[in-house]
Chains A and B, each alone.
Chain A
Amino acid sequence: MASKLARPLFLGAAVALVASACGSSNNTTTGGGASTGASTAAAVKATGTPISLGWVGTMSGSQAGVIAVEKQELGGAQAYFGWLNDHGGVDNHPVQISIADDAGDPNTGLAGAKRLVEQENVQAMMFVSGGPIASAVQPYLVSKSIPLLGTAAPLLCFFQPVQKYTFGELTPYEYQGSALAQYLVKTKGAKTVAYAGFNDVSGKSFGQSFLNTARSLGATVTGTSYFNRGQTDFAAYISTLQGQKPDAVGFFASIQETAAVLKAAQTSGFQTTWAWGPGGTNPALVQLAGPLAEGTYGVSPYLSDTSSDQSVKDYRAALTQYQPSITSGPYTQFGYVLGRATADALKKASGTYTSEAVRTAMESLSGNYGMFPAFQLSATNHLLNRGIQVVQYKGSTLQSASQLINVDPTSVTPYPCAA
Chain B
Amino acid sequence: MTQLVGTAESAVVEGADTAPVAPPPPAPLRGLQQHATALRLGGSLLAVILGLAFASMAGSYYVFVGAQFFAFVIVTLSLNLLFGYGAQIVIAQGAVVGLGAYSFAIMVRHGVHPIPAAVAAVLFTMLSSLVVALPALRLEGLYLGIATLAFQFGLSGLFAAWDAVTGGQQGLALPQVQGAHGPFNNDQFWFVVSGIGALLVLLGTGRFVRGSGGRAMAALRQSVYAAQTLGLRPVRWRMLIFAISGAMSGLAGVLLAGQIAFVSPASYSTDRTLLFFLAVIVGGVRSVAGSVLGALVAVVLPQLLALLGYTDNESLIFAALMIVALITLPDGLVTLPRRLAALPSRLASLRGSRRAAFADNGSQEVGHDGK
| A-to-B contact residues, CB < 8 Å | 1-3, 5-7, 9-11, 13-14, 16-18, 20-22, 24-27, 59-62, 98-101, 103-108, 110-112, 114-115, 117-119, 131-133, 135-136, 139, 199-201, 228, 416-419
Contacts and interface: CB of A to CB of B under 8 A. Distances in A.
A22 B17 CA distance: 37
B364 interface: no
B315 A59 contact: yes
A24 B313 contact: yes
Contacts, number: 181
Residue among A13, A27, A61, A139 with max Cβ neighbours from chain B (10 Å):
A13
B274 to A, nearest CB: 5
B46 to A, nearest CB: 27
Given A2-B285, A106-B260, A111-B68, A13 B266 contact: no
A201 B262 CA distance: 16
B87 A1 contact: yes
Contacts of A136: 171, 260-262, 264
Contact of A132 (B65, B87, B169): B169
B78 interface: no
B84 A2 contact: yes
Given A17-B318, A61-B271, A132 B170 contact: yes
Residue among A9, A98, A200 with max Cβ neighbours from chain B (10 Å):
A9
B311 A27 contact: yes
A107 B311 contact: no
A18 B306 contact: no
A132 B171 contact: yes
A111 B61 contact: yes
B77 to A, nearest CB: 15
A104 B264 contact: no
Contacts of B173: 135, 139, 418-419
B5 to A, nearest CB: 20
Given A106-B264, A419-B173, 11 more contacts: A2-B285, A6-B285, A7-B281, A9-B89, A14-B326, A99-B312, A103-B315, A111-B61, A131-B170, A199-B169, A418-B264
Given A110-B64, A111-B61, A111-B64, A7 B330 contact: yes
B314 interface: yes
A162 to B, nearest CB: 19
A155 to B, nearest CB: 9
Residue among A2, A22, A59, A136 with max Cβ neighbours from chain B (10 Å):
A2
B196 interface: no
Contact of A106 (B140, B266, B278, B330): B266
Residue among A1, A100, A114, A132 with max Cβ neighbours from chain B (10 Å):
A132
Contacts of B261: 136, 139
Interface string B311-324: 11111101110110
Given A1-B141, A111-B61, A115-B307, A24 B315 contact: yes
Contact of A419 (B65, B170, B318): B170
Contact of A10 (B59, B142, B264, B282): B282
A201 B313 contact: no
Residue among B68, B84, B168 with max Cβ neighbours from chain A (10 Å):
B168
Contact of B160 (A139, A199, A419): A199
Contacts of B353: none
A105 B320 contact: no
B41 interface: no
A105 B271 contact: yes
B277 interface: yes
B89 A2 contact: yes
A21 B303 contact: no
Given A5-B142, A118-B59, A104 B172 contact: no
A98 B311 CA distance: 8
A100 B319 contact: no
A17 B319 contact: yes
Interface string B289-317: 00000000000001100110001111110
A22 B267 CA distance: 21
B256 interface: yes
A107 B64 CA distance: 10
Q: Give the 7 A-B residue pairs with the shortest CB-CB distance, closest first.
A: A132-B264, A200-B169, A60-B315, A21-B315, A21-B316, A17-B319, A114-B61
Nearest to B261: A139
Contacts of A201: 168-170
Interface in B49-69: 59-61, 64-65, 68
B281 A9 contact: yes
B194 interface: no
A416 B314 CA distance: 35
B161 interface: yes
20 contacts: A2-B83, A9-B281, A11-B326, A14-B319, A18-B316, A18-B319, A24-B316, A60-B314, A101-B311, A105-B272, A114-B61, A118-B59, A131-B266, A132-B169, A132-B171, A135-B171, A199-B161, A201-B169, A418-B170, A419-B170
A118 B171 CA distance: 26
A25 to B, nearest CB: 7
Contacts of A13: 274-275, 277-278, 281
A114 B314 CA distance: 17
Contacts of B315: 17, 20-21, 24, 59-60, 101, 103
B167 interface: yes
A413 B65 CA distance: 39
Contacts of B278: 10, 13-14, 17
